[in-house]
Amino acid sequence: MKRGMGLVMSAVVFGLSNGAAGSKLTPVPFTDVRIVDEFWAPRIKANAEKTIPHNFKMCEETGRIANLAKAAGQMEGDYQGYRFNDSDVFKLLEGACYVLAGEHDPALDRQVDALIATIAAAQQKDGYLNSYFTVAKPEQRWTDLRSAHELYSGGHLIEAAVAHHQVTGKRTLLDVACRLADHFDSVFGPDKRRDIPGHEEVELALVKLYRATGEERYLDLARFFIDERGNARGRKLYGEYCQDHVPVREQSEIVGHAVRAMYLYCGMADVEDLTGDAGYVAALQRIWQDVVQRKMYVTGGIGPSWHNEGFTVAYDLPNDTAYSESCASIGMVLWNHRLNLLHADARYVDVLERTLYNALPAGVSLEGDKFFYTNPLASQGGHHRKPWYSCACCPPNFARILPTVGGYAYACDGDGVFVNLYVAGQAKLTVKDTPVTITQQTRYPWEPTVRLTLRPVKPTTFDVRLRIPGWCDGGSVKVNGKGIDKLDVRNGYARVRREWKDGDTLDLTLPMPIRRIEAHPRVLADAGRVALQRGPIVYCLEAVDNKAPVRRLALPPDAKLRAEHRAGLLGGITVIKGTALAVERDDWGRKLYRPAAEAKSVEFTAVPYCVWDNREPGEMVVWLPESPMLVSPRPERGITVSASHVSRPEKLTALYDRIEPAYPGDTSVPHFDWWDHKGSEEWVQYDFDAPRRVDGVEIHWFDDERIGGRCRTPESWKLLFRDGEQWREVTGASGYGTRADQINRVTFDPVETRALRVEVKLREGVSGGILEWVVGEVSSE
């Protein structure tokens, strides 16, 4: 018997659940929800008009589509790019299908069909499909499951195929996906090769394919890949980075690569939905609690560390160096949506909403054609979106998530409807076999009132469960204008049960005071600091809105704050205005004591974090110190930095920003690094705007061993100065220290120069970096 096949076909793709074994709710697919609100409607439109065409253009210009054509024998040439570049094309294709579901576009439909024809032609006779291993290394198929991402890319092909079939009714890509899944099944399994993908994704995709076709082998293979993870049966485990350290049922903490983790736990939730596996239920609950209670940013982003694109230790949530990958935020939305469907608990939607209104939309520009790969919570002015990346997983991921936002708004069970998100628009659904239209009138998230008008085709008794967000205290509900004295709130939902007639209304009020948010005391990066939140929106300060440097502002506890809507700013937003203290001086030098820092009152403006970096470049902060003593120091002036290599150009300014670690092993402060160069000879250089007479430097090396990173102090180093056109090593050096967690000071014979250079030899197998490099008159102290 085929399990869990009594489903509405549109829910296969868009809802991800069908109310089978473990699921409590059935989602209302985004195709049945029309959004017209001020926040999401412009973004969805920009996705269709800019993001999708831009992704097509970039996939063509970077050779991603050409790779598939080469694999199909349609053109000659070498493979271009990373081994997993096919996945970007497949994600784009999925997003294009979702756009077609909203509004038929004949030109886009033809573009999709042409691409599918190329993909089908690239498939091998045995069903295998991967352009890199077809064009470049056919003899190396399935030889590097940890890193080559063959199953990951195949999973995205399957997702695109199911979407295309559900939207168009065509089987052109679905047949390709079935042949590919059949090939997977011929290679992997309990009585075949016992191995897993290093990057999860195929698990959730195989469940989608099972739901679309009813073929149980696909569900069984998905479960095999999940259960095999963490089990060393004739293979070497891939470790925490791939969540392959212990069996999934025994996992209690989220570890490793953030996106991989999200896709794994989505797959587990999907299999749990269909099988009711109690081991999955318990593990997912433990892991979810670890994420939201100890490892999630206030914006809903996850994964603080750049070295593994993921998790480190509990409460390690740096701001300037936050990784918080855009794809991980998308994964958080997908995972929490599934958990809400499984358990009918609003706390999962609270997390979904936090990510959906903050970390996720921040990743794409309002125009829809530039993207963040990483999403820090503070910037010195060098972090900006880009049109594309060599590893371009994020841009096409936005292309497929944005059209589906409406699918997170509503869900149903046997007793009624659950309203999860408040978005102006209209939804069509069925409750107790009765078609019902629900219209929302609201300016959420800017205003606190929501009116829902229900139009059942006949009077019907059912529940309407309105989510009362976790950030809200004291929500109120009226039915046809009459208030409800005491709300019946269960699992975060206010339950209203009655016989509903055509035109009945529900008026919901969710008070939105401005809140000062504090982090857990163990989040040392935010100690003594607060963030501002109003409703679901987290705020930040940008240089473009403020006369005083935003990193030198303090927000005392008694500061008066007010909200002000700006219809003409950044598509229409509500800003927060108030009075802060601007610090005028920070001349500590080598002093142990000094007069109290001078500060003056200044007006400030905060904007939603989700819209930052859409105007003039400049500094940005989310967390504001309450005391002037904690403001960031003023960076040293008159220095230009260059290096033999740097992982990201914006890291160059960290060398002279005067921000020192607060404690041994503190990796939360900005740093410069040579990643991903290992064991090599490297250099970093200061050019001064005027000659300087110097006789000493201090260097604080960057070492992230504590959090599992791959940067260490160097094997050796030396200091050179520029003498005319020549570089010469300083003389009389007191010793080149390489100790971690301390200042390494070297004095030397005085020189007058316009440039200094640090040359290092990195340790074998690891990289290195610098937290702070100070130039000064050390011998005069």
Cα separation, 456 vs 465, whole angstroms: 16
| Strand, helix or coil for residue 181 | helix
Q: Which amino acid is at 37?
A: D
Q: In 3-state terms, the chain is what percent helix, strand and coil (to 5)?
A: 35, 25, 40
Cβ proximity of 252 and 300 under 8 Å: no
309 assigned to active site: yes
Reference 610, options 571, 566, 561, 567; nearest CA is 571
Q: Is 257 left (phi over 0), alpha (psi -120 to 50) or beta?
A: beta
Single out the catalytic residue among 309, 325, 353, 542.
Answer: 309
Q: Which amino acid is at 454?
A: L
- Six-digit token string for 245: 């350290």
393 assigned to active site: yes
Q: Is the peptide bond before 185 cis (omega within 30 degrees of 0)?
A: no
End-to-end Cα spacing for the chain = 83
Residue recorded with tokens 């001020």 = 38
Cβ proximity of 444 and 423 under 8 Å: yes
CA 376 to chain centre: 10
Angle at 282 between CA 465 and CA 247, to 5 degrees: 140
What is the number of helices (H) and of strands (E) in the chain? 17, 30
Residue recorded with tokens 């033999």 = 644
40 CB-side CA count, 13 A: 29
Contacts of 562 (CB under 8 A, 6+ apart): 514, 576, 577, 578
- Six-digit token string for 549: 């440097």
Q: At what angle do helices 86-102 and 64-71 cross, to 10 degrees?
A: 110
Reference 14, options 3, 25, 30; nearest CA is 30
Over 434-447, what HEC string results?
A: EEEEEEEEECCCCC
Cα separation, 719 vs 709, whole angstroms: 26
Cα separation, 693 vs 688, whole angstroms: 11
**b/e string for 379-418 if b means 16 or more Cβ within 10 A?**
bbbbbebeebeeebbbbbbbbbbbbbbbbbbbbbbeebbb
Contacts of 658 (CB under 8 A, 6+ apart): 586, 633, 634, 635, 636, 772, 774
The H-or-E segment that residue 86 falls in is helix 86-102
Cβ proximity of 284 and 252 under 8 Å: no
Cβ proximity of 436 and 417 under 8 Å: yes
Residue-by-residue DSSP string for 185-230: HHHBSTTSB----SS--HHHHHHHHHHHH--HHHHHHHHHHHHHTT
Single out the catalytic residue among 59, 97, 393, 394.
Answer: 393
Residue recorded with tokens 């920070």 = 586
Cβ proximity of 531 and 298 under 8 Å: yes
Cα separation, 404 vs 421, whole angstroms: 13
Contacts of 146 (CB under 8 A, 6+ apart): 198, 238, 242
Cβ proximity of 399 and 644 under 8 Å: no
- Six-digit token string for 149: 């991402």
Cβ proximity of 33 and 407 under 8 Å: yes
Point out the residues that are catalytic.
Answer: 309, 393
